[in-house]
């Protein structure tokens, strides 16, 4: 029996390892999680799971697993290396250095560990130390093309252009198929005004990898320098096609369109950018320049005012807005803006405090393309409200009765309660319930179900599933009158009412209107009042409902809808305490924590929700946990 167990563990280990090697990370996790469920003392399994999580973007979760592996085997040097890489990705570079140095002590000549040391120093912007570490790695293994490339980048940042070019050349000699090395060498040659040589390199980079948006972007800059503007536009279009929300490519395309007097298309690009980068001062400023040249004076004033609100000391924005006011005959505003503009211009000329001015020519225009993200990101900050909104879209829905094949619902107690209330549905009805939004003849349900009250309940649930909340509310209200104490009917009624309130909120938000909720006994119930009433109704269900975790979870969601994120954490935690396997609660608690500014807690919860089956958590982790 014991040998069977060992074979079983070996199967899950090697299957997980095999899928990992084939880069099927989510699939490998299923086997590794099963193995750890059988035996949590296998340090290699924790290590493998850490690698899978890392490749799925769950950096914090991977670091936790590498730590677990090291707690079982403190001298596991590879786990120390991967832990260092994860910590560096999380911005904890001092801890990363500590970890990789331990690995190097265990294996002093390991070129991979020395390479990782170089990467960590690079992240710390200690470029001299990075160069030294890459050199030590290359002394052990001269065949690492990436080490040559990274040492080249370090040399470039230390203003040693000749050594950088030599390292790029060696990287390409070691690996003639290394697309990024050609792109880097091309970019450097472009900076050195060797545009034709640079163009050859970028052509080769794109030939080797036609999916790298950055290569098209660099080649566009070279074409621009060679005054081949149509070719530059074509490459920027290709970069945007590969990477649709590529701010730098969109901005540079707007620069070229402006220079070729294609004003409307340039404004379209900048308007798209204003959504992607709402706090970037360059976007409204440049759009203001274009609107000014188009003769759209008021729009130009609006754009310059937006730029000034983002960067109150932006001299050029004041000076050009002064010109616009002057042409409109508003002398007082023109004089005020001119005085402020001159004041800030003198201040920055004396102190050289802001790199924004180095990008502008004497007319205030951008005369060359912007090649670096850090240049474009000047005066751009994270918009907290936009971040909250993006996260809020990802919350898992309420737990509610849902009619589908076999009456599948979210939790076993809820499923059992559904079956108790509805009885066994006939096969003819089940066939009609196979699709996500079933096409069911509601009027015929009474003939198929075993009681009028059950018929009304199921009709209401189906209408709610179809997002016909108002009709569902009528039916579920009627079902409650027929069976006043039926807890499933009460849950269906309150969850539908919450969803109806959210639906109305969406209409109000999208149309900027005021829409009252038509609730029974109160035709002017506000959204907030409706949520408060629903909260009371859910809390009344707690003592009687068999699946209390589901009710706690729903109350947590209700707090989210009211933007009471700290409160939601309390309720999601109660749900998790009762049902530690409720993955939706871990997921939503993670999102609430991030919005509340508790990133580490949130990312840890999201990682655990992914372990429990919420694989889309990895997309959220990639977006919000690795900054």
Going by pLDDT thresholds of 50, 70 and 90, the confidence category of residue 47 is very high
Q: Between 1.25.40.10, 1.10.1030.10, 2.60.120.330, 3.40.50.11540, what CATH number should domain 392-624 receive?
A: 1.25.40.10
Report the C-alpha gap between 410 and 404 in whole angstroms: 11
The pLDDT assigned to 148 comes to 96
The pLDDT assigned to 403 comes to 62
Which token pair is 288?
């203001």
CATH annotation of 258-381? 1.25.40.10
More confidently predicted of 598 and 2: 598
Report the C-alpha gap between 281 and 485 in whole angstroms: 59
Going by pLDDT thresholds of 50, 70 and 90, the confidence category of residue 378 is very low
Going by pLDDT thresholds of 50, 70 and 90, the confidence category of residue 363 is low
Reported as a single tens digit per residue, the pLDDT across 573-588 is 999 999 999 999 999 9
Can you list the alpha helix ranges (DSSP code H) found in 423-547?
427-432, 445-448, 452-465, 469-482, 487-511, 527-541
193: nearest Cα among 368, 9, 397:
368
How many of the other CB atoms lie within 10 Å of CB of 190?
Answer: 23
585: nearest Cα among 593, 597, 575, 594:
575
Q: What secondary structure, in 3-state letters, does 564-579 show?
A: CHHHHHHHHHHHHHHC
Euclidean distance between the first and the last CA atom of the chain, given in angstroms as a whole number: 48
Radius of gyration of the chain (CA): 30
Would the CATH topology of 258-381 be identical to that of 392-624?
Answer: yes
Q: Is 65 exposed, middle or buried (0-12, 13-18, 19+ CB in 10 A)?
A: buried
Of all residues in the chain, the percent with pLDDT exceeding 70 is 79
pLDDT of residue 446 exceeding 60:
no
Question: H or E element: which one contains 115?
Answer: helix 111-123
CATH annotation of 2-242? 1.25.40.10
Reported as a single tens digit per residue, the pLDDT across 249-290 is 998 899 899 888 899 999 999 999 888 888 888 889 999 999
How many of the other CB atoms lie within 10 Å of CB of 4?
Answer: 8
The pLDDT assigned to 352 comes to 47
How many of the other CB atoms lie within 10 Å of CB of 581?
Answer: 11
Report the C-alpha gap between 243 and 215 in whole angstroms: 12
pLDDT of residue 406 exceeding 70:
no
pLDDT of residue 57 exceeding 80:
yes
Tell me the C-alpha to C-alpha distance, in Å, between residue 62 and each of 59, 106, 110, 566.
5, 22, 22, 27
How many of the other CB atoms lie within 10 Å of CB of 67?
Answer: 15
Domain residue spans in the chain? 2-242, 258-381, 392-624
Which residues make Cβ contacts (< 8 Å) with residue 472, sequence separation at least 6? 460, 461, 463, 464, 496, 500
Half-sphere exposure of 329 (CA within 13 A, CB side): 0
319: nearest Cα among 299, 296, 295, 343:
343
Of all residues in the chain, the percent with pLDDT exceeding 90 is 50
Q: Looking at residues 315-322, what average pLDDT do you find?
A: 90
Going by pLDDT thresholds of 50, 70 and 90, the confidence category of residue 437 is very low
User: What pTM value is reported for the model?
Assistant: 0.63
The pLDDT assigned to 320 comes to 92
DSSP state of 41: T
More confidently predicted of 602 and 433: 602
380: nearest Cα among 393, 370, 369:
370
């Amino acid at each position: 029996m014991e040998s069977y167990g060992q074979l079983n563990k070996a199967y899950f280990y090697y299957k997980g390892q095999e899928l990992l090697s084939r880069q099927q990370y989510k699939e490998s996790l299923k086997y590794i999680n099963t193995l750890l469920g059988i035996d949590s003392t296998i340090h290699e399994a924790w290590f493998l799971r850490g690698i899978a999580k890392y490749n799925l973007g769950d950096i914090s979760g991977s670091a936790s697993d590498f730590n677990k592996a090291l707690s079982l085997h403190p001298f596991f040097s590879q786990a120390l290396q991967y832990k260092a890489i994860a910590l560096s990705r999380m911005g904890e570079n001092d801890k990363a250095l500590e970890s990789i140095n331990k690995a190097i002590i265990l294996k002093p000549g390991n070129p991979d560990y020395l390479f990782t040391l170089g990467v960590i120093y690079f992240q710390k912007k200690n470029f001299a130390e990075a160069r030294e570490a890459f050199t030590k790695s290359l002394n052990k293994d001269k065949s690492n093309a990436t080490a040559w490339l990274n040492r080249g980048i370090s040399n470039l940042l230390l203003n040693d252009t000749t050594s950088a070019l030599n390292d790029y050349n060696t990287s390409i000699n070691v690996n003639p198929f290394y697309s990024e090395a050609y792109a880097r060498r091309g970019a450097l040659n472009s900076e050195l005004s060797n545009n034709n040589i640079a163009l050859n390199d970028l052509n080769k980079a794109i030939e080797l990898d036609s999916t790298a948006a950055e290569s098209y972007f660099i080649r566009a800059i070279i074409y621009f320098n060679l005054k081949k503007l149509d070719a530059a536009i074509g490459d920027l279009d290709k970069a945007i096609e590969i990477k649709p929300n590529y701010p730098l490519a969109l901005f540079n395309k707007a620069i070229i369109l402006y220079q070729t007097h294609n004003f409307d298309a340039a404004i379209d690009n900048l308007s798209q950018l204003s959504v992607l980068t709402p706090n970037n001062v360059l976007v409204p400023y440049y759009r203001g320049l274009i609107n000014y040249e188009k003769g759209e004076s008021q729009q130009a004033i609006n754009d310059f005012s937006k730029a000034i609100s983002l960067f109150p000391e932006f001299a050029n924005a004041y000076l050009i807005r002064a010109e616009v006011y002057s042409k409109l005959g508003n002398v007082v505003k023109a004089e005020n803006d001119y005085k402020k503009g001159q004041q800030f211009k003198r201040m920055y000329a004396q102190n050289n405090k802001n790199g924004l001015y180095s990008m502008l020519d004497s007319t205030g225009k951008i005369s060359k393309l912007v090649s670096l993200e850090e240049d474009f990101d000047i005066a751009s900050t994270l918009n907290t409200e936009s971040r909250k909104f993006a996260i809020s879209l990802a919350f898992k829905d309420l737990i509610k009765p849902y009619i589908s094949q076999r009456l599948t619902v979210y939790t076993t107690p809820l499923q059992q309660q559904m079956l108790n209330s509805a009885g066994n549905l006939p096969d003819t009805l089940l066939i009609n319930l196979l699709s996500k939004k079933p096409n069911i003849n509601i009027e015929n349900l009474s003939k198929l179900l075993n009681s009028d009250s059950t018929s009304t309940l199921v009709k209401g649930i189906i209408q709610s599933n179809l997002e016909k909340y108002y009709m569902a509310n009528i039916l579920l209200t009627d079902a409650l009158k027929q069976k006043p104490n039926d807890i499933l009917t009460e849950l269906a009624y309150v969850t539908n009412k919450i969803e109806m309130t959210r639906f109305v909120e969406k209409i109000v938000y999208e149309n900027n209107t005021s829409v009252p909720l038509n609730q029974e006994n109160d035709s002017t119930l506000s959204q907030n009042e409706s949520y408060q009433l629903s909260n009371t109704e859910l809390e009344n269900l707690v003592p009687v409902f068999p699946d209390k975790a589901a009710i706690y979870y729903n109350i947590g969601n209700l707090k989210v809808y009211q933007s009471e994120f700290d409160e939601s954490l309390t309720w999601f935690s109660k749900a998790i305490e009762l049902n530690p396997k409720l993955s939706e609660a871990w997921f939503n608690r993670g999102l609430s924590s991030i919005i509340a500014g508790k990133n580490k807690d949130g990312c840890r919860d999201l990682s655990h929700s992914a372990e429990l089956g919420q694989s889309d958590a990895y997309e959220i982790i990639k977006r919000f946990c690795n900054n």
